[in-house]
Structure 1
Amino acid sequence: MNNKRYLSIVDNGFLITETEDSPKHIGSLLIYRKPEGADENFVHALYQKWLTVKEAYPPYNLKLNITNPLAPYYLEDPDFDPVDHVEYLKMPEGSSREKLYAKVSELHEILTDRSLPLWRCYLIDGLSDNRFAVYFRGHHCMVDGISAGKIMMEFHAKDAETLDLPPFWAMPDNPYNKKSSRKRPSMMERLKNMATSNVKTAVGISRISTQLCLEAAGLTKNAISLPFTSSKSALTGSITYKRSFSTASLPMDRVSNLQKISRNTLNHVALTCLDGAIHRYLDHIGRPLDEPLTITMPVSLRREDAKVGGNQIGLVATKLADRTDDPVIRLREIGVSLQSIRHQIDTSPAASIQAYSLLTNGFSQLMESAKAAQFIPALSHTIVSNVPGPKQTLYMEGAKLEEWYPVSTLGPGHRLNVTMFSYDGQLHFGLIASKDYLPDLNVLGGYIYEAFEELEAVLQSPDMGTSLLEAKRQHRLSGVEQS
């Protein structure tokens, strides 16, 4: 007999607040190069082979029961059939990256069928330069970004010679099904842990609340920013179902070099580039923002030995830098903010961070579901997350995985989500936006790389960019005079 697997409050929140305009699934776009000498029907043959594998393991065979919406649970689906989940798409031969992104945008708009296990997979053939893609999406109530990455990672081989691996749904030893290494506590230990946890959670929430009250009164400045204080901008407000997807990539060796030069972390460098790029993008669409960007950052609360699956994340908002032309000043201000927020998270019980996240984000989700998001200030301007990925090259049936981009969901009141994913020497940015409000999303991807090159030039110059920035200002002034 199947065992019921009840959803947590956090997981169920993604179901309760899902609407046609705001689907709550997350995904990945993986771009492969076909093996040398592969048949032109390589992808379709792989698709047909996958359809014959009808054995499935959690989470891919878990079917949702929402008879009681307040206590939904999963049961293993005895009628699982890959034909319900896997689809082959043939693009016009030699299709460009732009056409691929347009197709992914279209596929990401569709709600997940709740009468089946909550995932879909598309094998996309016909890309230029002998490549193909796999777009996978799963409902956010099933996994968070870190769990999804770990599960998908295990499905790949570490060399081109390893063939005939089962498709990802047919792997019994995927990380979702591995038991925690922690010893199961006794009843007395559970009661003691529960009591201790409740006390720590109450103290943690009290401390966060006190700090936010002091900030509201102007008596202090905290790492966690006051929620619902971000000004209205093109990045915030109501959305429609239409999505646009684009990407950017930075070479990890050059990012690491900037980390060493400036004594900062990868997050500091990446957010410095993103901050400058978003401001420039808002200028491009004629909706400039003259105040600091506020971002919501998902932070993992999962213990190293914890079981993979579900959502174990906290959501905290923090301000980035005051608007400036100087990337060094931007890097310094962002570094201070991130170091402070890391300290605040590390010194607070995980349960209190999650409880705080439930209160703030839960309220935002409910307002969005009630079509009232435009009547309250946004929790922040946008969501930005960073998911660690594998450093080594991966393969699938001899096909080299060249690029791996996250395709996330939009948060309540947010029209843009930026998720970073490191893979095989590259830091990939997956950008998803509300198409009706944020046009030309591909321009933002270009600005991210330009901001990185500017930061690199400044940090590597003998005068820390003084002459470079002065030349930039003179060029801008001459342009104004000519106009």
Structure 2
Amino acid sequence: MKQLSGLDSAFLDLEDDHQFLHVSQLLILQRPDDPDFAPYPAWRRQLADRLHQLEPLRRRLVPVPFGLDHPYWIEDPDFDLDFHVRHSAVPPPGSDDDLDELVGRLVAAPMDRDHPLWVSHVIEGLAPEEEGGAERFAILTMIHHSTIDGAAGADLLELMLDDVPDAEPPAHAGQWRAEEPPSTAQVLARAAANGVRRPARGLLLAARAGQEVARASRNPAVIDLADRVRGSLRGPLGSLLNAGRERDPDQDVPRLPPLVAPPTPFNRPVSRYRRFAHRALPLAEVKAVGKHADATINDVVVALCAGGLRRWLLGRGELPDAPLTAMIPVSLREGDEDEVWTNRVSATVAALPTDVDGPLARLHAAHDALRVAKQVFAALPGDLTPDAAGLGVPATVTAVSRALSRWSSVTPAPFNTVVSNVPGPREPLWLGGARMTHYIPVSAIADPVGLNITVQSYVDQLDIGLLGCAGLLPDLPDLADAVAEEFPALRAAVEGTEDTEE
């Protein structure tokens, strides 16, 4: 029996009837030549043989009465693989757009908390990627965010699949031991013990946070951010705090995100319905563009998202004058964690250069914005987020989380969108004789941020998954096209050819 961390529990607390915090993997595979190969039984058998290695798939929630403590995971004594592995199909002609529409419908549903928090759909009926090519099928696996983060999800996938075709089942295939649920008295006793220890943990964490804040006082990016906050104050208090404040208007200051995210069509309360769209870019070419411009893959990804959003918003006549802002998840994993299957993630906020004209200039602005975001994150105690989330009295934290969720639906968005780049496997993965060709991320959205753009690298592809609220973004495929179309424009600009900006 293992207890959820405070951050893991928060992903449960923030769910309601219209926002569901599971993260998903959409895998596309090529059918082998073997006429006896059947995707659904092959995938079911694959998981059954590897369940002893796949802890997040076996464990079920055990809540603590009255919310006195965070819930626990137990190895589900009533585990039923047939409940979790399901069979679906796209209608003819089986295009990628048909697949995206089905995925949008499938992810728009909550998880059943009486079972382990995951579901996997084998989706058949996909047309070949190119005329005369191999037939394809897809696997959509949805796992609740309380179970894993993005980096852990990539690790889990490598355990689900094989690194060679037609691999033999692993040793001890399917052998694992279920647990009996604890009694109410047992979980209450643990809650009481944790309640005694929680204040001491809070003092230690406060001391660590104080040290990091002290270091932040010497960080130029943090100093400028504090200066901007002070400078934005109005009224008598602002006059007092800004007394004697002088700034050189020509001073080159870091490109910090706006203090208030500008309005967009997708920064409103979300419905329970989703739209999904995916696109792919050649990873080697993305790396080459970044190398040529002395930029990282992250820089290129943020520049592409900014350029795509700029194109799309200009087309609607709704581009704000101020740059949009993005929440950038930051993995805290160092590779030596005692517990792998939990959330070790924090976040920072960066300016998206949607106000910059020209793809090369946007790339340079994205590079500067991410550099400053990293400086701010490194200086502030963001790495303490997972520990801090577990300090409050769980019932109170739950109530506050839900109140903040409701409050966020009627207040300005803290950022406009989420942009995440997750590194994936470098070598091909296999299901029997079926080779996986794409690893497409499908993330989550919540009020009032109705758009998530997540990028996943896999072998020679950079797969881009956009998830949006169906009511706010009915034309999400157009936005996906705009992001993908930004790449040839950026490549042309980097190579010195004619700029193809709008």
What range describes the TM-score normalised by the shorter chain of this pair?
A: 0.7 to 0.9
Question: d(CA) in 2 for partners of 1:255 and 1:151?
Answer: 26
CA shift in 2, pair 1:324/1:50, >3 Å: closer
2:61 aligned partner, one-letter code = L
2:340 is aligned with 1:343: no
Aligned to 2:486: 451
1:149 aligned partner, one-letter code = A
Question: d(CA) in 1 for partners of 2:50 and 2:369?
Answer: 49
What is the correspondence of 1:301-316 to structure 2 with a 5 Å cutoff?
A: 301-306=332-337, 307-316=339-348
CA shift in 2, pair 1:206/1:141, >3 Å: farther
Kindly state the Cα deviation for residue 284 of structure 1 after the two structures are TM-superposed.
3.2
Aligned to 2:298: 267
Question: d(CA) in 2 for partners of 1:353 and 1:54?
Answer: 32
CA-to-aligned-CA distance 1:76-123 (integer Å, 9 cap, x gap) = 111111011111113345411111111111110010000001100111
2:75 is aligned with 1:43: no
Unaligned stretches of 5+ residues in structure 1: 173-190, 477-483
Aligned to 1:176: none
CA shift in 2, pair 1:125/1:358, >3 Å: same
CA shift in 2, pair 1:351/1:159, >3 Å: closer
CA shift in 2, pair 1:312/1:226, >3 Å: farther
Question: d(CA) in 2 for partners of 1:205 and 1:440?
Answer: 43
Aligned to 1:181: none
CA shift in 2, pair 1:363/1:288, >3 Å: farther
% identical equivalent positions: 27
Question: d(CA) in 2 for partners of 1:234 and 1:388?
Answer: 30
Q: Would you say the 8 A contact 2:7–2:390 is kept in 1?
A: yes
Aligned to 2:324: 293
CA-to-aligned-CA distance 1:264-317 (integer Å, 9 cap, x gap) = 100111111110101212233443333201000110112221131111111221
Q: Would you say the 8 A contact 2:258–2:322 is kept in 1?
A: no
Question: d(CA) in 2 for partners of 1:43 and 1:448?
Answer: 32
Aligned to 2:212: 204
Of 274, 277, 282, the match for 1:243:
274
Deviates more, 1:313-322 or 1:124-133: 313-322
Aligned to 2:464: 429
Question: d(CA) in 1 for partners of 2:317 and 2:203?
Answer: 54
CA shift in 2, pair 1:239/1:197, >3 Å: closer
1:10 aligned partner, one-letter code = L
Deviates more, 1:61-70 or 1:9-18: 61-70
Kindly state the Cα deviation for residue 245 of structure 1 after the two structures are TM-superposed.
0.5
Of 392, 405, 408, the match for 2:440:
405
Aligned to 1:175: none
Aligned to 1:110: 109
CA shift in 2, pair 1:259/1:435, >3 Å: same
2:143 is aligned with 1:138: yes
Secondary structure at the counterpart of residue 217 of structure 1: helix
What is the correspondence of 1:179-194 to structure 2 with a 5 Å cutoff?
A: none
1:448 aligned partner, one-letter code = V
CA shift in 2, pair 1:410/1:394, >3 Å: same
**What is the count of residue pairs matched by the alignment?**
441
TM-score with structure 1 length normalisation?
Answer: 0.83
Kindly state the Cα deviation for residue 35 of structure 1 after the two structures are TM-superposed.
0.7
Aligned to 1:284: 315
Unaligned stretches of 5+ residues in structure 2: 129-134, 177-198, 232-244, 248-252, 392-396
What is the Cα-based RMSD across aligned positions, in Å? 3.2
What is the correspondence of 1:30-109 to structure 2 with a 5 Å cutoff?
A: 30-39=27-36, 42-46=38-42, 49=45, 57-68=54-65, 69=67, 70-92=69-91, 94-109=93-108
1:96 aligned partner, one-letter code = S
Secondary structure at the counterpart of residue 95 of structure 1: coil
Kindly state the Cα deviation for residue 222 of structure 1 after the two structures are TM-superposed.
6.2
Aligned to 1:184: none
Which one scores higher on RCO, CA 8 angstroms, separation ≥ 6?
Answer: 2
Question: d(CA) in 1 for partners of 2:75 and 2:19?
Answer: 27
Q: Would you say the 8 A contact 2:258–2:325 is kept in 1?
A: no
Q: Would you say the 8 A contact 1:202–1:352 is kept in 2?
A: no
Q: Would you say the 8 A contact 2:348–2:374 is kept in 1?
A: no
2:122 aligned partner, one-letter code = L
Question: d(CA) in 1 for partners of 2:258 and 2:475?
Answer: 31
Q: Would you say the 8 A contact 1:223–1:341 is kept in 2?
A: no
CA shift in 2, pair 1:128/1:241, >3 Å: same
Secondary structure at the counterpart of residue 335 of structure 2: coil
Secondary structure at the counterpart of residue 109 of structure 1: coil
1:214 aligned partner, one-letter code = D
Question: d(CA) in 1 for partners of 2:10 and 2:280?
Answer: 32
